[in-house]
Structure 1
Amino acid sequence: MIITKTPFRMSFFGGGTDFQGFFNEHGGAVISTTFDKYCYVNVRHLPRFFDYSTELCYSKIERLKAIESIEHPAIREAMKFLDMHEIRLNYEADLPARSGLGTSSSFAVGMLNAFYGLKGKYADKKKLADEAIYLERILCKENGGIQDQIAASFGGLNRINFSADGYTVNPIIISTERKEQLNDNLMLFFTGFSRFSSDISKVQQSTMKEKTKQLLEMLSLVDDAEKILTSKSDLNEFGKILDYTWKLKRGITSKISNDSIDAIYTKARKAGAIGGKLLGAGGGGFLLFYVEPDKRTLVKEAMKDILYVPFKFEDGGTRIIYYTSESYESKVQ
C-alpha cells in the first residue's frame, strides 16, 4: 500500500505566462508557493475476490473491469500510461476541487507518485512534474498552463521560469523572519463558487494574441515582486502590486471575475486589505488578500459571510508518507 501527500499551491504573479503558446515566444515566469493543505492518494492492488478489477473512490465510486471504461480521465490515462492493473485508489483532500489552487494537478502528481511507489520505483520531482504535465495537457487534452504540476511536485516558495527550452525552478531565498511576515500578512477566503479551470483557460488561450501586452506587463511584475521579497523593501509593496496584477488579469477575459467576486474584493479593500487576487484561472474559488496585522480583524469581520481559511507555507512538495511492500504478480501479459 502507498499513501502520497501532495500540497496545493497559490500563485502570486505571472499566471497566464505559463501557457506554452505564450512562453515559447516571449518567455514566462511565475512566483508561487505551496501551503499546508494537501491531497492524499491511497493506492494498493485490489484482492482478486470481486467481479471487478479496479475500484476508484474520489467524488464518486467506480468499480469496473476494463480500464478503458474508467470515467475519470486522469486516472484512466495514468493507468494506461504506467500500465497499472488491478488497483484500489482512494482520493481525499483538505480543500475542494475546482477552487483555483491547482487541485487537479496536485492529484495528478500525487497519483503518479503513488503508482511509481506501487511498482517499487523511484520518480524524482522533475519526472513527476513532467509526466503530470504530459498527463493533463496531452493525454487528457485539458487546457491550461504548466505551473501547477511543477509547484505541487517541487513544493516551496519559488520563481519558476518558462521558455521554449523548458523550465527551471528557483527557490526564492529570503530570511525566515521575512517569509513568516509574508505568510502572516496573507489571508485566504473561499468564495463558495467553483468552476472548471480548463474551460476558462480555453477562453484565455483564444485571446492570448490580443492580450500579449497585458501578459508581458504581468511577466514584468514577477521581477518587481521578487525584488521586493529578496531586498529590504517595504513588504507592503508586495500587496500593492498584487492588487495591480489582479486588475491586469481581470482584463484578459470577462470570465475571470464576476459581479459577486468584484463586490467581495471591494469590501475587503475598504476594510483595509492592501491588495489581493482571485487564485487560479478565475470564475470563483479562493480569494487571497494581503493585509497588515492591525487590519486583519477588520477584514475578517467584513468577510464574515464567507469562509476564512488559515494556512502556513510548506516546502516539501509531493511525498510518500506510507509505504508497505506487497507481493503482486499481474495476470495481464
Structure 2
Amino acid sequence: MPERDVLIRSRAPLRISFAGGGTDVSPYSDERGGAVISSTIDRYAFCSISPRKDKEITIRSLDYGREERWKANGMLQYDGNLDLIKAVLNHFDVKQGADMFLHCDAPPGSGLGGSSTVIVSILGAVAEWLNEPISQYEMARLAYKLERTELGFKGGRQDQYAAVFGGFNFMEFRGEETIVTPLRIRSDVLHELHYNMLLCYTGKTRDGANIIDDQTKGVIDKKEDVIAALDNARRLAYDTKDALMKGDIRRMGLLLNESWEHKKKFTQKITNERVDTIYRTAMENGAIGGKISGAGGGGFMFFICEYDKKHIVADELAKLDVHITNFNFDKHGLQTWRYWK
C-alpha cells in the first residue's frame, strides 16, 4: 500500500473583550494588576503544514499575499517579513522541510487579537508536527514570549490566553502571573447575549502599536487620568463578570458603555471622528452600550442592543458603510488535527 502524505492543521479563535482591555498591558498590569473578561468567536487563524523530504520551507500567507522560501539549516533572521512564523521555527530549532499555509478570518489591524491568534495557531501546528506536547498555560506563555519579548510586538497578555483556552474567560494579571478562570454560563444567557449583540467592521484598520505606546507612556508618566481610567476598566471587568453570571444582559450593555467612556481616556488615539459617528448612531437607534475591540482607532466594534431595535441599529450602521458580521461564540480554543491525503 503506498505511503500517504499527512497534513497537519490547526485553528485558533479570535476574541472580543467585554471589559478590562488595556489593564493586561505592562507596566500597568505589573504595578497594579489587571483583569479582563472576554470570549472567543467563530472566526479563526489557520495554519497548515505539509512535511517535505528535503530541508526547504515554503510559506504562503493568504492575508499578506506573500510567499517566502527558506532553508531549515539555522536561525532565521527577522526582517519584518512573516516574523511570527520565523520565531516559532527558531524556537523549535526546526531542521525539517515543510510547506506552510496561513490565513486568518479577520484582516490585520482588526482589533480581534489577530497577530496573537496567528502565532498560537502556528505554535499549535508546529508542536503537533514535531510531536511536542505543550500544556495550555505553557502554550499561551510561549506565544506571549515570542510575540512580545522576542519580536517586540506591542500589546498585552489577554489575546494569547484567549486563543489557547477558548470560550468565555475571566483573566487576572498579577505581575508575570496570569490566571485564567473559564466561566460556566447558562445556555439561555449565552443565547440571549448573542441575540442582543451586533459585531461590525468599521472598514478601517488601526495601528495598535502607536495606541499602546501612548497608553504605556501615560502609565510611566504617572498621569492620574490615565491610571484612574485603567483602574475603572479593571473594576468593570469584575462588574461585567457578575452581570454575565447573573444573566443580566441589560446591565452588561450599560457596563459596556461605561467601559467605552473610560477606554477613551487611555489615550486620545483610541477614537476618531468615524468611530464616534458610528458609536453615536448606534446609541441613538437602540444600542445599550458598545465599544471598539482591541487597542482602538478602528477595526471591529460591537454593541449590545435592545432586542427589538437591533435590526434598526444594523440598518442605520449600514448607511455608514459599516459591515455587520454574523458570528457565534466559540468554546473550544486552539485545535489541531492530522489529515492523511
- 1:13-64 residue CA offsets vs partner (Å, 9 max, x unmatched): 001110131122211110000011111100132343xxx8221111111123
Post-superposition Cα deviations, 1:234-284, rounded to whole Å, max 9, x if no partner, equal 420110110111011111111111001101111111111111000000111
Q: What is the percent sequence identity of the aligned residues? A: 33
Segments of 5+ residues of structure 1 without an aligned counterpart are 326-333
Separation in 2 of the partners of 1:54 and 1:220?
Answer: 47
SS of 1:303's equivalent in the other structure is helix
Tell me the equivalent position of 2:166.
155
- Equivalent residue number for residue 308 of structure 1: 324
- Per the alignment, residue 261 of structure 1 pairs with 275
Does the Cα contact within 8 Å between 2:104 and 2:118 map onto a contact in 1?
no
- The corresponding residue for 1:331 is none
- Give, in angstroms, the shift of residue 76 of structure 1: 1.5
Q: Please show how residues 310-325 of structure 1 align to structure 2 within 5 Å.
A: 310-324=326-340
Which of the numbers 77, 80, 94 marks the counterpart of 1:68? 77
CA RMSD of aligned residues (A): 1.7
Q: Which residue of 1 aligns with 2:35?
A: 29
Of residues 36, 40, 43, the one that matches 2:49 is 43
The residue that corresponds to 2:306 in the other structure is 292
Q: Is the 8 A contact 1:187 1:289 kept in 2?
A: yes
TM-score normalised by structure 1 residue count = 0.92
Task: Give the Cα–Cα distance (whole angstroms) in 2 for the partners of residues 95 and 23 of structure 1.
Answer: 27
Q: Note if 1:113 corresponds to 2:135.
A: no
Secondary structure at 1:162's aligned position in 2?
strand
Contact in 1 for aligned 2:26/2:216 (Cα 8 Å): no
- Tell me, yes or no, if structure 1 residue 57 matches structure 2 residue 60: yes
**1:14 alignment partner in structure 2:** 20
- Contact 2:233/2:259 (<8 A) preserved: yes
- 1:1-333 matches, cutoff 5 A: 1-48=7-54, 53-58=56-61, 59=64, 60-65=66-71, 67-68=76-77, 71-85=81-95, 86-164=97-175, 166-208=177-219, 209-210=222-223, 211-231=226-246, 234-304=248-318, 305-324=321-340
Q: Which 10-residue stretch deviates more, 307-316 or 203-212?
A: 203-212
The residue identity in structure 2 corresponding to 1:185 is N
Deviation, 1:165, is: 5.2
Q: Could you tell me how far apart the structure 1 residues matched to 2:296 and 2:56 are?
A: 38
More deviation, 277-286/175-184: 175-184
1:89-139 per-residue CA deviation (whole Å, 9 max, x = no partner) reads 111222212100001011110101111111022222111101000011110
TM-score, normalised with respect to structure 2: 0.90
Separation of aligned partners in 1, 2:176 and 2:104: 34
Distance 1:260 1:132 in 2: 33
Following superposition, the deviation at residue 323 of structure 1 comes to 4.5
SS in 1 for 2:50: strand
Please report how far the alpha carbon of residue 195 of structure 1 lies from its aligned counterpart in structure 2 after TM superposition: 2.1
Partner SS for 1:97: coil
Q: Give 5+ residue unaligned stretches, structure 2.
A: 1-6
Range 194-203 or range 73-82, more displaced: 194-203
> Matched residues in 2 for 1:74 and 1:199: separation?
19
